[in-house]
């Protein structure tokens, strides 16, 4: 680790210590003391629900998190899935695949409808059957249908049907697409940054997050392993 890395790490730790709710700040600060004077994390760091909530938000949802092997996540009982919901920290994320095999376009979205915020796909990973037909809404696995009011999206996150809103003056379907999140493929793994929309971009570029891992792991081509 370089001096610059040390400085960055110290700054990150200082920032992380600002708001770990539920812990004694003085006790937490002792963890960073030099060896011989430092102490272990206070008990609340392991038992406090508030600390767990903070960790889920900042340590998992708030950075690049590996959500699994793509081939495993896309494999269903009846063949390749077109969508799957995963939990990243405290954020439910919807992954979609448009296309066949390794050439499929992979996207990530917040797993919530833009109408009333209802969960679109259950987070146990199962595919939900499309809701009962409402007019001319798309059907089947090429669409994502909200079970609440049947707002329907395609696999690119675009709103395709909003029952009852055709007559609403000024309503623009193009302004109600799903919220896209940053997602990356890496040697067969899928990484998601659940708190950064596509418009925002990632706070830390994915390549920077990986550091030296590409040089270490890349030559083994783990995406070819079976």
**pLDDT at residue 211 in the model:** 93
Residue 60 carries which DSSP code?
I
Would you say how long the chain is, in residues? 226
Helices assigned H by DSSP within 48-109: 49-55, 70-74
| Confidence band of 31 (pLDDT split at 50, 70, 90) | confident
Task: Give the distance from CA 128 to its chain's centroid.
Answer: 19
**pLDDT at residue 22 in the model:** 58
| Confidence band of 32 (pLDDT split at 50, 70, 90) | confident
Task: Please determine, for residue 107, whether its predicted confidence score (pLDDT) is greater than 90.
Answer: yes
Task: Please determine, for residue 3, whether its predicted confidence score (pLDDT) is greater than 70.
Answer: no
**pLDDT at residue 128 in the model:** 46
pLDDT in tens, 116-130: 999 999 976 444 444
Q: Are strands 105-110 and 91-98 parallel, antiparallel or unpaired?
A: antiparallel
Task: Please determine, for residue 204, whether its predicted confidence score (pLDDT) is greater than 80.
Answer: yes
Distance, CA of 29 to CA of 173 (rounded, Å): 50
Question: In the chain, what are the domain boundaries?
Answer: 3-61, 66-221
Distance, CA of 209 to CA of 202 (rounded, Å): 10
| Confidence band of 28 (pLDDT split at 50, 70, 90) | confident
Higher pLDDT, 19 or 135: 19
**pLDDT at residue 109 in the model:** 96
Q: Dihedral angle at the C-alpha atoms of 50, 210, 218, 223, nearest 10 degrees?
A: 40
81-101 mean pLDDT: 91
Domain with residues 66-221, CATH architecture: 3-layer Sandwich (2.102)
- What distances in angstroms separate CA 30 from CA 16, 37, 41, 42, one per listed residue? 14, 8, 8, 9
Contacts of 8 (CB under 8 A, 6+ apart): none
100-129 mean pLDDT: 82
Distance, CA of 203 to CA of 195 (rounded, Å): 10
């Amino acid at each position: 680790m370089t001096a610059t890395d040390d400085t960055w790490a110290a700054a990150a730790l200082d920032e992380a210590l600002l708001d770990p709710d539920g812990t004694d700040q003085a006790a937490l600060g002792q963890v960073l003391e030099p060896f011989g004077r430092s102490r272990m994390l206070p008990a609340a760091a392991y038992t406090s629900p508030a600390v767990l909530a903070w960790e889920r938000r900042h340590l998992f949802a708030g950075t690049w998190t590996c959500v699994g092997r793509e081939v495993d996540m896309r494999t269903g009982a009846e063949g390749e899935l077109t969508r799957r919901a995963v939990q990243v920290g405290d954020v439910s994320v919807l992954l979609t695949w448009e296309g066949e095999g390794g050439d499929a376009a992979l996207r990530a979205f917040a797993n919530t409808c833009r109408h009333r915020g209802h969960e679109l796909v259950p987070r146990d990973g199962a595919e939900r059957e499309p809701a009962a037909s409402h007019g001319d809404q798309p059907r089947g696995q090429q669409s994502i249908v909200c079970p609440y009011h049947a707002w329907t999206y395609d696999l690119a996150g675009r709103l395709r049907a909003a029952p009852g809103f055709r007559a609403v003056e000024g309503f623009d379907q193009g302004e109600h697409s799903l919220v896209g999140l940053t997602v990356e493929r890496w040697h067969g793994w899928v990484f998601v940054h659940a708190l950064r929309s596509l418009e925002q971009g990632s706070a830390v570029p994915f390549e920077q997050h990986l550091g030296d891992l590409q040089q270490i792991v890349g030559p083994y081509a783990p995406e070819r392993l079976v």
